[in-house]
Amino acid sequence: MTIDLVIFDCDGVLVDSERLAVRIEGAALAELGLAFSEDELVERFVGVTDAYFRKEVEAHLGRPLPEDWDELMAARYQDAYRNELTPVDGVLEALDAIAYPNCVASNGSHRKMAFTLGITGLHARFAGRIFSAYDVTRGKPAPDLFLHAAEHLGVDPSGCVVVEDSPNGVAAARAAGMHVFAYAGGLTPAARLEGPATTVFEDMRVLPSLLEVHRSRSH
C-alpha cells in the first residue's frame, strides 16, 4: 500500500481555532441564558457545522435565533481569529516533512477556511484542494466529504488517510474506510478519539513518522 492522499481537517488540525471558538460560543450562549461548561461545549459542538450548532441552540432555547445570528457570530469569530489565531503547534514542521499529496476537508465553509488559512499563511499550501461540508449533502460524521475529496482528486478511498481532532471527524474517516490519525493535542481527550483504524497522537511533529510507520506496516 502507498499513501496516495493525506486529508487534513482544518479547525484544530491546521489552525488552532477550537479554543477561540469555544470561548466565543460559551459567551454567546451565556448571553442567551444557556450555561454550558467548556467540556460540554467541546463534547457537543467541536467539529460540527454551523447549521448543526444553530439547530441545537434553538432546540435548547425552544425558539428560533435572530435572523442575523450567523452574521453576528461570524463577526465575533473573525475578530478573534484576526487578532489571536495561529497555526496548530508543530503543524508547519509536519507539513514541511510530508511529501504525500494532501488536501483539506472541513465541516467549515469555504469562506471561513479562506479566512483562517489565509491569515495563518497556510492557504497557499492547499489552494485548489480545499473541500467543505457545504459541497456535499451530509457533513461529518457522515463519510460524504472525505469520499468527495478523494473522488475529486482521483484517489481511491483505500489510499487515503485522514488527520482529524474531533469524534465526528474520526467517525467520518472510519465510515469512509480511511485510516485516521487522531490529534489529541487540542481540546478533545484521547479517550474520545480511540478506536478501530485509528492512530492517536498528541504532537503534530511526530505525524510524518507516524505516516511512514503506517505505510510500512500496510505492505
* Strand positions, DSSP E, the chain: 5-8, 102-106, 130-132, 160-164, 179-183, 198-201
- For the chain, helix (H) and strand (E) counts, in that order, are 10, 6
Set 4, 9, 39, 144: catalytic member: 9
Active-site annotation holds for 70:
no
d(CA 136, CA 131): 9
Active-site residue, selected from the candidate residues 4, 11, 70, 144: 11
β-strand partners of 179: 161
Q: CA neighbours within 13 Å on the CB side: how many for 179?
A: 20
96 in catalytic set: no
Q: Amino acid identity of 65?
A: L
Which one, of 196, 137, 135, 199, lies nearest residue 165 by Cα?
A: 199
Which residues are part of the catalytic machinery? 9, 11
